[in-house]
Structure 1
Amino acid sequence: MSAPSYTVWAVPGLPEVREGDDLAKLIAAAEPGLVDGDVVLVTSKIASKAEGRLVEATDREAAIDDETVRVVARRGTLRIVENRQGLVMAAAGVDASNTPAGTVLLLPVDPDASARAVRDGLRDALGVDVGVIVTDTFGRPWRAGLTDVAIGAAGVRVLDDLRGGVDAYGNPLVATVIATADELAAAGDLVKGKAAGLPVAVVRGLAHVTGGDGPDPGARALVREARDDMFRLGTSEAVREAVTQRRTVREFTDDEVDPGAVRRAVAAAVTAPAPHHTTPWRFVLLESAAARVELLDAMRDAWIADLRRDGKSEESIAKRVRRGDVLRRAPYLVVPCMVMDGSHTYGDERRDAAEREMFVVAAGAGVQNFLVALAGERLGSAWVSSTMFCRDVVREVLGLPGSWEPMGAVAVGRAVGEPKARGERDVGGFVVVR
């Protein structure tokens, strides 16, 4: 039995591609010896030129803006973005090299459709069933250098899912999914080169990864879904998104909350600024349902007693109590507390009041850090002030020292559905410049 092998070569003789050219006919004329099972690798640049994606643009940055869906990371003028095709890459794939002055080349609108068109055209021209991959050059996180990857595909098994099988030692494979299309794209790049004027290559000998006229997911299957992407944002962008995406969540799923995620959020909370190098934060984690019910029942009774003393009707009291049920609907509660250990006493009412305000501000900064960190853990939260109105009750039920001042309660859990989009706020309305 011969060892597995394949052959890859660049296709010479292709003319300069222009808008409206039929790529399949050009490739067929330059490489008429294609056979069933070959994989044809087509550089995205010539697909874009044929599809009229060369556009006037005196400002490349503006063109990148137009093609960008979201910024993933930014360093100086370099931007890693998600583009309209769903690809995360530098500069949205906008190319200003080897194009006339004042123009840029955009990626194909639908690279999978581009691959299908070339595959169908080669079948019509040569009567062969080949796979086609549209390639582009990417950098990769944590790795130096560039390589070609598949951004469009047709008639190619882009992913080889080995999960459920076993390795040579009988160990189960539980996470092994091979990016076959990317490996083929990189193989072709070895012979095409970046400056050799050879935009098409052919791989022969791997017919098992091609063929079929059934459902074809294309290279889109290589794009990781947002929910599975652990590295969706760069550092500063992740912080900014956690801050801006934090919402008050009032409806939670029944999913359990990872206590480790809450503790990581507490670790972020206690990095907040505080006066006199103090640590004025304490967080009481109510992880058992019994503890939550005991606290909330005691707080409800205290609240009802207060409302009755205020002369509220029973109907009004019932409505108010129902509005406070957000804490009961959460699978996890946290009671942040302020302690004034290390505070100064001046013997002056004005200065002592200011001292307390500094600690209250620091406590609030710690809670904000906590809420933002929870958002970074994909946990929803609602900071409710109720414990501040019955601090003695809270301290008694939870067995807290008298010096601990409960600063509300935070409901924590997975949000039911996506939060509503927050309306745009004009920063100018919150800024005074002197």
Structure 2
Amino acid sequence: MSGSGSTGTGYRVWAVGGLPEVRAGDDLAKLIAAAEPGLADGDVLLVTSKIVSKAEGRIVRAEDREAAIDAETVRVVARRGTLRIVENRQGLVMAAAGVDASNTPAGTVLLLPEDPDASARLIRDGLRDALGVEVGVVVTDTFGRPWRAGLTDVAIGAAGVRVLDDLRGGTDAHGNPLSATVVATADELAAAGDLVKGKASALPVAVVRGLGHVVVSDDAGARVMVRGARDDMFRLGTSEAVRLAVTQRRTVRSFTDEPVDPGAVRRAVAAAVTAPAPHHTTPWRFVLLESAASRVRLLDAMRDAWIADLRRDGKPEESIAKRVRRGDVLRDAPCLVVPCLVMDGSHTYGDARRDAAEREMFVVATGAGVQNFLVALAGERLGSAWVSSTMFCRDVVREALELPDDWDPMGAVAVGHPAQEPRARAEREAGDFIAVR
């Protein structure tokens, strides 16, 4: 098979035949050298991870494949039925953590190589010793991809290969600057090899010739192709996003000076108003205090009202000053949001017990909306703290913010970029909070 490479010259890719069944302890470099002794400098070997795992003894007893997947999983990204997309110990996000129950004896499963980059280096060095050639080696595995049907091979390990081709700073054929183009060369090589290896043809190794410019003497391995959490815009999968509400969202009380994207806050409000509510009502209103002047006006008015209340209660001035300082989280945040409850659409029963229950339903619905809001902020990588203080001086808040009389402030949410990583939350056993009847 041939095609045009990135240099404009042709290349060839072919599968290597004649390889025996690989067993634990086999020297893959020697097996490949015996099957393809004509390897030349600048060739790239594409080696299916399955035979690497077999040679490295990564076959384990596992009557229950799910237990093996659990053992290899760092976090669950998404789940549908028995299918799980997870991050595994190698940092790869893939189905079933790469645990394979095919082409392996009954009652066993095949795990991915523990260090695929080290595996690729071992094969490259072995081929240099056996044949005296400088080649690149890519260890491949099969991946599905978000938003795309079908499977393809990608690089999970590499040695002697420029895995990423950074074209930023150059120009295209029309002279336009390239500002975001980084080509996943190793993945392209892996996919090219899969075209001739196939999924069921028992040809686990392929060779690419004619792309010697991608073969290098030093390399960073395929690990650099794994996108870090900070740069991963899609890190929160379905399962993880649900768990975020109870396990990952934190109350953040210290923020940086970095401005908050108003669009992010509005997207969080859009999530908030999907919460359930009684009688098909919409009991939520969110007042966004995005200017420093509006925040100062509100917080000064609340502070003065709070001090007056504490003095009426007979609190000493030292205690008053200490309590007021606790409200600094709202003053220090670059954005402040005041969620409000409105009772539009509520029913009046003329019975105190039922009327009280009606209001409680609306309060619960507002709380659900605020929880949605907090979780959505976390998804935007923003920290937040929901503080109850506006509930104790609602008239003052309504006056300072010029709100309608029927808007009841339900606390205030400080929003900003966390100044430091939140501390780990103490573990809570769900069973301690469950009653079964």
Contact in 1 for aligned 2:79/2:238 (Cα 8 Å)? no
Q: Which moved more, 1:298-307 or 1:149-158?
A: 298-307
Query: Equivalents in 2 of 1:351, 1:3: separation in Å?
Result: 78
Aligned with 1:6: secondary structure?
strand
Which of 59, 63, 67 matches 2:64?
59
Query: Equivalents in 1 of 2:352, 2:125: separation in Å?
Result: 84
Q: Counterpart amino acid of 1:277?
A: H
The within-5 A match list for 1:231-246 is: 231-246=234-249
Which of 43, 63, 73 matches 2:78?
73
Query: Equivalents in 2 of 1:231, 1:289: separation in Å?
Result: 32
Instruction: Name the counterpart of 1:113.
Output: 118
Query: Equivalents in 2 of 1:343, 1:229: separation in Å?
Result: 43
The within-5 A match list for 1:87-166 is: 87-166=92-171
Query: Equivalents in 2 of 1:88, 1:362: separation in Å?
Result: 36
1:368-416 deviation digits (Å, cap 9, x = unpaired): 1211111121211111111111111111111111111111111011112
Instruction: Name the counterpart of 1:360.
Output: 363
Report the CA distance between 1:237 and its aligned residue: 3.5
The within-5 A match list for 1:111-260 is: 111-213=116-218, 216-260=219-263
1:309 aligns with 2:312: yes
Structure 2: segments with no counterpart, 5+ residues: 1-6
Report the CA distance between 1:242 and its aligned residue: 4.4
Query: Equivalents in 2 of 1:234, 1:366: separation in Å?
Result: 21
Instruction: Name the counterpart of 1:422.
Output: 425
Instruction: Name the counterpart of 1:294.
Output: 297
1:278 aligns with 2:248: no
Query: Equivalents in 2 of 1:321, 1:171: separation in Å?
Result: 57
Report the CA distance between 1:3 and its aligned residue: 5.4
Instruction: Name the counterpart of 2:4.
Output: none
Q: Counterpart amino acid of 2:115?
A: D
Query: Equivalents in 2 of 1:191, 1:272: separation in Å?
Result: 51
Aligned with 2:10: secondary structure?
coil
Which of 383, 406, 427 matches 1:380?
383
Q: Counterpart amino acid of 2:251?
A: T
1:164-217 deviation digits (Å, cap 9, x = unpaired): 11111111111111111011111111111222222111111100000223xx21
Report the CA distance between 1:101 and its aligned residue: 1.2
Instruction: Name the counterpart of 1:405.
Output: 408
Query: Equivalents in 1 of 2:236, 2:329: separation in Å?
Result: 31
Contact in 2 for aligned 1:242/1:373 (Cα 8 Å)? no
Query: Equivalents in 1 of 2:246, 2:264: separation in Å?
Result: 17
Q: TM-score, normalised by structure 1?
A: 0.96
Q: Counterpart amino acid of 1:115?
A: A
* Count of matched residue positions in the alignment of Structure 1 and Structure 2: 431
The root-mean-square deviation of aligned C-alpha atoms, in Å, is 1.5
Q: TM-score, normalised by structure 2?
A: 0.95
Residues 84 and 253 of structure 1: CA distance in aligned 2, closer, same or farther (over 3 Å)? same
Q: Which moved more, 1:228-237 or 1:191-200?
A: 228-237
Q: Which moved more, 1:34-43 or 1:354-363?
A: 354-363
Q: Could you tell me the percent identity over the aligned residues?
A: 86
1:286-311 deviation digits (Å, cap 9, x = unpaired): 00011111111111111111111111
Query: Equivalents in 2 of 1:157, 1:258: separation in Å?
Result: 37
